[in-house]
Structure 1
Amino acid sequence: MNDYRRYVQVVVSFLPVAFALLRDRRRYLLFGPSRRTSEAVDRRRAERLRKTMLELGPAFIKVGQVLSTRPDIVPPTYADVFAKLQDEVPEEAGGEPFAVLEEELGETLDLETVEPVAGGSLAFVYTAAYDDDRIALKVRRPGLRALVERDLRVIRRLLPILLLFVDERQRYSLENAANDFEEIIVDELDLEREATMMVEIGENFADDDRVVIPDVYPELCSKRVVAMEYVEGQKITDEEALSDVGTTPSEMATLITRIYLKMGLVDGVFHADPHPGNLAVTSEGRLVIYDYGMSQRLTEQEQEDIASLYRTLVRRDVDGLVNALVALEVLEPTVDRVAVRQVLEMVIETLQGQSALTWRTIITELFAMLHDFPFRIPPNVMLLVRVGTVGEGVCRSLDPEFDFLEATQSFLVDHGFVESELETLFEDVRTDLRRSAPVVAGMPARLDAVLGQLERGELVVRTESTDPVRADDSGLGYAVLSSAFVISSAVVVTYEPLYAAIGAAFALWFLALYVRNRLGRTKTS
């Protein structure tokens, strides 16, 4: 009965926007033309959906956060609005977190020293005294798991109805997104897992004094509580805080980019929620990262595949890009590779024509152009996309001129994931020379044979001319050879300028021989 009431509540909450979206497809619901909406109308609807998600609680807030990284499912305007969803939650969601502290740590901590700090959609944060130190405690709201599991059941029941109103492409994406979403939110509810991820990430940055990962107190942790070092800091977007520690916004943006790239591509364990509320700067100018609930681990193979994806994008290697997307399970192995290749070539051509290129632009354009193919975004890839889009947003809020892609390419070069532009050029030249060596080696012999035939008068060219031509007119051969080299040079000039120049030189040489031959015959006549 409880599920039924919740089901009705959710349907009623979303019904006005759903009704409007259906009318966009058919003006009179069952018939009539479609109608176009302005960006302003789309934004108002997206804002209404965002507020509805906030009112419905934690599970739906997480749905909105997931959808903000899925341009294959929602239009860019909706994704932008959903990206603003932070860990806001109505006070009545779950029970009083302090009750969990009493149950879990009542005999270990002096509860009179406990002070509230902040609240989120899934947990509440306190500070407390422990062994002469001040520690931070992240406490899951009591009863929250049951509420989230109930809402997951409601979402699963609503999904078949929703699938009736979308096309086949979106049906495939929505089914996969729903499955992946459940995995993400269940992981985020397990605070014992979060503590383990914190420890691992902290060990990876133990020797880096630019970043602070709070130490964990394992003896105080459980599935409902994470106990960690209390690290104070000013909000990362506070310009005065950065100025006070002698760090420019651009330097901090670069540091954030390189730290997160190291997590994903070098260490294989990464924090996936870099919004401004989770980033701070200490009085010494160090970057502090809070809240590891949305963290993920990559296998070595996934790291290699993601590095390959970056490498192929940098080098505009379309075939390599297709292979990387298949390896990451974004595309099916049976996909029509020729058709995908044509689409990806269009994506790269479109992106090259844009003056201000961003990570969000690349992802949006890529997934929008792939809409005709069945594809999914696995949880690990989706969280990486989220890190890129949210992280880029933070960096550009610090420095509007910050080039996230340039900073990324610099990191990839520094860590050997891709070659520098000069090394890439040399590698391309070496590859071309290696492929061309057999042809170049055989050219002198072939040229000598052709010239020998020409000298002996054995080179025969059959043509039909309106003017009488003498049988021993070898000058005609020079003209034909000159024309052949001109045509060949014109064909290869776009791809191999060096060979085109060589061909042009031969064309001029044979043209000169032809002119000399004709002038000699004129004088003889």
Structure 2
Amino acid sequence: MAGLVRRYLLVVVRFLPFAIAFLRDRRRFLLFGRRRRVGEAVHRERAERVRDTMLELGPAFIKVGQVLSTRPDIVPPTYTDVFGTLQDEIPEDAGGDPRTVLEAELGDELDLSTLERVAGGSLAFVYTAAYDGERIALKVRRPGLKPMIERDLRVIRGLLPLVTPFLDERQRYSVRNVADDFEEIVLDELDFDREREIMDEIRENVADDDRVVVPASYPELSSERVLAMEYLTGRKVTDDDAFEGVDVDAHEMARWITEVYLEMGLVDGVFHADPHPGNLAVTDGGRLLLFDFGMSEQLPRAVQEDVVDLYRALVRRDLDGLVDALIALDVLESSVDRAEVRRVLELVVENLSGRADVTWRTIITELMGSLREFPFRIPPDVMLLVRVGTVGEGVCRQLDPEFDFLAAVREFLLERGLIENELAALVGETAADAQQSIPALARLPTRLDLTLDQLERGELVVRTEPADGTRRDPALGYAVLAGALAVAAAVLTLGATPYAVPVSGLAAVFLLAYLARRHG
């Protein structure tokens, strides 16, 4: 208990200067005074100091910063950019020596004298070891890490009630959910059994794709704290020599990365959510090698469909569909003022139209910035999808500065039939309109029969002269009827009714009558 209190005090002391600075932005003298105007440079400097403080406070706070870098519903763009630079490297002895975990878990099955460390991060280290005559990789969780993180999660949750009174209503909506979201993400990363299961499922899903390779696991050596897998090597995709001696170039690899991740997220529903350069490599055979599946997600089928609806609405600029998708994904509350949201989104679309520099990051920044007017949040699965898009696009642009990420996304969606092209969409909308009109059109033959009877008896006069007395062509009435019937026939054809042929015939009769009067 004393240790928890000391941790509370340490965290409060470290973040107190930032809290005072943010409060002074609202009221210069904390309790009274006008708002302060703070420039972009000041905010960036603050963000960098907050980032450094998170690094000093350890793994849980590093993860807080990494999560916040994908939460524009909580922090402004300057802070998301800076927090996105947080790296996992911390001293090896933080949380204890990972070798003690291997001794406890695998001491009887592995020759630990063959261990070699190859990588390290905030949650785990990666070693290689000899097993059955070959080298395997072992991802090992720091031994004292889980109690440390659980303690810091309690501290973070305990401090949230002190923060929320100083937030506006729309931010409170997100913060009320962020503690649960964050806890779920971090604890999932600590569970190596979960990571192994997802890695195995993704490996099975991409088994027939010659472009990508995922390491196989060794379940008999794996546990919640240890993940044993094939030891596969490659050159980091952004290295200068990454594509030397292989049959793929940087542009093609950028396209592969885009398609592989879209296939995982939108088709398979199980995806690797951390595509930064350190987790992507090019093998000697020219294949894309994926590492580190700690940050991964499995989407329910309903969420997959909602995400596809979101893409479809964005591509077609269907604002009503976009609002529907955002509500279905729980980004917006169902009680939100739809008309007001639509008006704001319309401004976003107008702002992006015609710009040559539109990227995925631009769209997300504009979209999330506009939604700040409303209570909104980004659920964990949606957050990870957003992260995949922004991080993945950044990698693709590093590989090829001219790479059009959005065009590649659109091409993939069209090829997989997840969205329709403009012509197909237009035909679909027209057919839908026709189907909605069928009840009224079904009464058309009866009305037409009555109208023709009236014409035959002379009870109905088609006026072809304007009220001002100016004479017009007397054949105009036939032309109007011919045109109207031709349109009716076209619509009836879409509705697959039996009246299309006779109505087409009547249109032809009136057209001939028009021509006869015109040239007779």
Q: Which runs of 5+ in 2 are unaligned?
A: 481-520
Query: What is the match of residue 475 of structure 1?
Result: 470
Query: What is the match of residue 214 of structure 2?
Result: 213
CA–CA distance in structure 2, aligned partners of residues 355 and 189 of structure 1: 42
Query: What is the match of residue 509 of structure 2?
Result: none
Is 1:119 the counterpart of 2:114? The answer is no
Query: What is the match of residue 163 of structure 2?
Result: 162
Shift of 1:209: 1.7
Q: Deviations over 1:36-57 (max 9, x none)?
A: 2222221111111111111111
Shift of 1:356: 1.1
Query: What is the match of residue 67 of structure 1?
Result: 68
Q: Deviations over 1:322-380 (max 9, x none)?
A: 11112111122222222222222222222224321111111121122112322221111
Query: What is the match of residue 501 of structure 2?
Result: none
Q: Aligned with 1:475: secondary structure?
A: coil
Is 1:45 the counterpart of 2:49? The answer is no
Query: What is the match of residue 496 of structure 1?
Result: none
Residue correspondence of structure 1 range 289-308 to structure 2 within 5 A: 289-308=290-309
Amino acid at match of 1:475: T
CA–CA distance in structure 2, aligned partners of residues 447 and 152 of structure 1: 78
Change (3 A) 1:456 1:372: closer
Change (3 A) 1:107 1:456: closer
CA–CA distance in structure 2, aligned partners of residues 45 and 450 of structure 1: 83
Amino acid at match of 1:329: D
Shift of 1:429: 5.0
Query: What is the match of residue 380 of structure 1?
Result: 381
| Residue range with higher mean Cα deviation, 129-138 or 425-434 | 425-434
Shift of 1:275: 0.9
Q: Deviations over 1:100-152 (max 9, x none)?
A: 01110011001111100111000000000100111000000001000000000
C-alpha contact (below 8 Å) 1:50/1:85 kept by paired residues: yes
Shift of 1:63: 0.7
Shift of 1:303: 1.0
Query: What is the match of residue 28 of structure 1?
Result: 29
Q: Aligned with 2:241: secondary structure?
A: helix
Change (3 A) 1:6 1:244: same
C-alpha contact (below 8 Å) 2:138/2:226 kept by paired residues: yes
Query: What is the match of residue 418 of structure 2?
Result: 417
Is 1:312 the counterpart of 2:307? The answer is no
Query: What is the match of residue 254 of structure 2?
Result: 253
Residue correspondence of structure 1 range 399-438 to structure 2 within 5 A: 399-431=400-432
CA–CA distance in structure 2, aligned partners of residues 457 and 308 of structure 1: 51
Shift of 1:16: 2.2
CA–CA distance in structure 1, aligned partners of residues 367 and 356 of structure 2: 17
TM-score, structure 2 normalization: 0.85
CA–CA distance in structure 1, aligned partners of residues 197 and 263 of structure 2: 19
Q: Aligned with 2:12: secondary structure?
A: helix
Query: What is the match of residue 493 of structure 1?
Result: none
Shift of 1:172: 1.1
CA–CA distance in structure 2, aligned partners of residues 451 and 43 of structure 1: 79
Q: Aligned with 1:108: secondary structure?
A: coil
Change (3 A) 1:27 1:448: farther
Shift of 1:424: 2.8
Amino acid at match of 1:169: R
Change (3 A) 1:69 1:448: farther
Change (3 A) 1:449 1:272: farther
C-alpha contact (below 8 Å) 2:303/2:329 kept by paired residues: yes
Amino acid at match of 2:63: K
Query: What is the match of residue 183 of structure 1?
Result: 184
Query: What is the match of residue 510 of structure 1?
Result: none
CA–CA distance in structure 2, aligned partners of residues 78 and 23 of structure 1: 18
CA–CA distance in structure 2, aligned partners of residues 449 and 74 of structure 1: 72
Query: What is the match of residue 326 of structure 1?
Result: 327
Q: Deviations over 1:67-115 (max 9, x none)?
A: 1111121111111111111212244421100110111001100111110
| Residue range with higher mean Cα deviation, 188-197 or 420-429 | 420-429
| Residue range with higher mean Cα deviation, 426-435 or 331-340 | 426-435
| Residue range with higher mean Cα deviation, 348-357 or 404-413 | 348-357
Query: What is the match of residue 342 of structure 2?
Result: 341
Query: What is the match of residue 358 of structure 2?
Result: 357
Change (3 A) 1:448 1:256: same
Shift of 1:389: 1.0
Shift of 1:446: 11
CA–CA distance in structure 1, aligned partners of residues 363 and 23 of structure 2: 29
C-alpha contact (below 8 Å) 1:55/1:90 kept by paired residues: no
C-alpha contact (below 8 Å) 2:118/2:126 kept by paired residues: yes
Q: Aligned with 1:155: secondary structure?
A: helix
Q: Aligned with 1:354: secondary structure?
A: coil
Q: Aligned with 1:164: secondary structure?
A: helix
Change (3 A) 1:256 1:146: same
CA–CA distance in structure 2, aligned partners of residues 139 and 206 of structure 1: 26
CA–CA distance in structure 2, aligned partners of residues 476 and 436 of structure 1: 36
Q: Deviations over 1:395-421 (max 9, x none)?
A: 111112211111111111111101123
Amino acid at match of 2:286: G
Amino acid at match of 1:277: G
C-alpha contact (below 8 Å) 1:114/1:129 kept by paired residues: yes
CA–CA distance in structure 2, aligned partners of residues 405 and 33 of structure 1: 43
Q: Aligned with 2:242: secondary structure?
A: helix
Change (3 A) 1:235 1:450: farther
C-alpha contact (below 8 Å) 1:457/1:474 kept by paired residues: no
Amino acid at match of 1:323: D
CA–CA distance in structure 2, aligned partners of residues 454 and 7 of structure 1: 95
Q: Deviations over 1:414-468 (max 9, x none)?
A: 11101123433443455566667878979999999999999998859999xxxxx
Residue correspondence of structure 1 range 128-147 to structure 2 within 5 A: 128-147=129-148
TM-score, structure 1 normalization: 0.84
Amino acid at match of 1:312: A
C-alpha contact (below 8 Å) 1:25/1:35 kept by paired residues: yes
CA–CA distance in structure 2, aligned partners of residues 285 and 450 of structure 1: 79
Change (3 A) 1:433 1:19: same
CA–CA distance in structure 2, aligned partners of residues 450 and 42 of structure 1: 79
Q: Aligned with 1:93: secondary structure?
A: coil
Change (3 A) 1:102 1:420: same
Q: Aligned with 2:233: secondary structure?
A: coil
Query: What is the match of residue 398 of structure 1?
Result: 399
Q: Aligned with 1:244: secondary structure?
A: coil
CA–CA distance in structure 2, aligned partners of residues 63 and 286 of structure 1: 33
C-alpha contact (below 8 Å) 1:270/1:296 kept by paired residues: yes
CA–CA distance in structure 1, aligned partners of residues 339 and 456 of structure 2: 46
Query: What is the match of residue 230 of structure 1?
Result: 231
Query: What is the match of residue 508 of structure 1?
Result: none
CA–CA distance in structure 2, aligned partners of residues 445 and 12 of structure 1: 87
C-alpha contact (below 8 Å) 2:192/2:294 kept by paired residues: yes
Amino acid at match of 2:48: E
Q: Which runs of 5+ in 1 are unaligned?
A: 464-472, 486-525
CA–CA distance in structure 2, aligned partners of residues 324 and 263 of structure 1: 20
